[in-house]
Chain A
Amino acid sequence: KNQVEQSPQSLIILEGKNCTLQCNYTVSPFSNLRWYKQDTGRGPVSLTIMTFSENTKSNGRYTATLDADTKQSSLHITASQLSDSASYICVVRGFSGGYNKLIFGAGTRLAVHP
C-alpha cells in the first residue's frame, strides 16, 4: 500500500532554534516529493519539489533532503520564526490506481514559541 508517514506528529520549539521534520514513504513508482506548509485555516502552500535525482533543495530557511534509496525525506527549518508555526505536509507523487496522484502525509504540527 502506498503510504507517507511523518514524524513527529507535533513539535514545540523556541523562536530562533532549528528543527528537522521527517518523512518516510513507501510509494512506488515514485515521481517526486513535495513539502507543503499549511497555516491554520488556509490551504497548503508549496515549499519544495524534488525529483528522485535531487538530494537537497532549499527555499530560504527551509531545506529539504531526499534519500530515494531509503525512501526518506527531511525538512530542516533554520532560525525558526513565530510565523513558522503551521503544519508541514510531506507529499509524494506516484502512480497508483491507474493515474499519477499525490499521496499526502498527515503532517507535522509545528509550534514556535517566543
Chain B
Amino acid sequence: DADVTQTPRNRITKTGKRIMLECSQTKGHDRMYWYRQDPGLGLRLIYYSFDVKDINKGEISDGYSVSRQAQAKFSLSLESAIPNQTALYFCATSEERGGYTFGSGTRLTVV
C-alpha cells in the first residue's frame, strides 16, 4: 500500500456541487498538507495541519475547507465547486524537519 493514499484519483463534477477529496497516510507523521498544482505554476499550499487539533490556512484557502478526522486522515472540501478550481490536488505529510511524502494526486475537473 502507498504511504499516502488519495481518493478519488480522478473526478469530474458540475459547477456548484460540493465535493470532498480524501487523504490517508501510514507514515505516522503529524503534519499533513493539501496542495494544488496548475499547469505552468508551482504547487501552492491550500491548508495545512500540524496535528489533529491544528488547522491553518495556506496561501490559497478561499473556496476550500478541510477536516482532520484523525492523525492519519485529512480531507479537503470544495463547498461549491467552480471551474477555476479545476486542477491537480496533492496531499502530503512530513515530520517537523524531514522530507515530504506526496500522494499520487487527484485530478479534479469542474464543468
> Does B associate with A?
yes
A46 & B41 in contact (Cβ 8 Å cutoff): no
Q: Which residues of A contact B58 (CB under 8 A)?
A: 101
B104 & A42 in contact (Cβ 8 Å cutoff): yes
**Which size bracket describes the interface of A in this complex?**
20 to 34
B99 & A34 in contact (Cβ 8 Å cutoff): yes
A99 & B56 in contact (Cβ 8 Å cutoff): yes
Determine how close the nearest CB of chain B comes to the CB of A78; give it in whole angstroms.
Answer: 23
Q: Which residues of A contact B92 (CB under 8 A)?
A: 43
Q: Which residues of A contact B43 (CB under 8 A)?
A: 44, 89, 102, 104
**Chain B, range 22-50, C-beta contacts under 8 Å to A:** 40-45
B105 & A106 in contact (Cβ 8 Å cutoff): no
Main SS class of interface, B: loop
Main SS class of interface, A: strand
A43 & B42 in contact (Cβ 8 Å cutoff): no
B100 & A46 in contact (Cβ 8 Å cutoff): yes
Q: Which residues of B contact A14 (CB under 8 A)?
A: none
**Chain B, range 63-111, C-beta contacts under 8 Å to A:** 90, 92, 99-100, 102-105
A46 & B99 in contact (Cβ 8 Å cutoff): yes
Instruction: Decide yes or no whether B1 CB sits under 8 A from chain A.
Output: no
Kindly state the separation between the CA atoms of A101 and B46 in the bound complex, as whole angstroms. Answer: 12
Q: List 9 A-B contacts (CB under 8 A).
A: A34-B99, A43-B103, A44-B90, A45-B102, A46-B99, A46-B100, A91-B42, A101-B58, A106-B40
